[in-house]
């Protein structure tokens, strides 16, 4: 699944890369943020979220996590929150609680 958005003059692309167990957000050709996960049965456990230091302060972590959680729900999977950022995000957005 790939989604394109236009953010100002920068092309933003978010992708699910299942072969890498990763959701990735690109600004132009640059990997700006990603959320990694492991999957066991019907649980997708997010264990690592990173924003490149050059792109911090733009809300990209929230954007990639929201996309990842939305896709996880569409696939009928439960959400695990081993990553502290994802745990905090889910606490602030109860619609993502299992």
- pLDDT in the model for residue 51: 98
Long-range contacts of 84-93 (CB under 8 A, 24+ apart): 85/49, 85/61, 86/35, 86/46, 86/49, 89/62, 89/65, 93/66
- pLDDT in the model for residue 89: 98
- pLDDT in the model for residue 14: 97
Q: At 88, which CATH number?
A: 3.40.630.30
What parts of the chain have a pLDDT lower than 50? 6-9
What gap in Å lies between CA 35 and CA 55, rounded to an integer? Answer: 15
Q: Are 18 and 11 in contact (CB under 8 A)?
A: no
Q: What's the structural domain count of the chain?
A: 1
Burial of 32: CB neighbours in 10 Å, binned 0-12, 13-18, 19+: buried
Question: What range does the domain containing 6 cover?
Answer: 2-96
């Amino acid at each position: 699944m790939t989604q394109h958005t236009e953010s100002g003059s920068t092309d933003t692309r978010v992708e699910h890369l299942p072969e890498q167990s990763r959701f990735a957000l690109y600004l132009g050709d640059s990997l700006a943020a990603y959320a990694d996960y492991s999957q066991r049965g019907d649980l997708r456990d997010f264990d690592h979220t990173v924003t490149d230091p050059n792109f911090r302060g733009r809300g990209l972590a929230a954007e990639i996590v929201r996309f990842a959680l939305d896709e996880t729900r569409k696939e009928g999977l439960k959400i695990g929150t081993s990553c502290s950022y994802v745990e905090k995000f889910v606490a602030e957005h109860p619609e993502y609680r299992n």
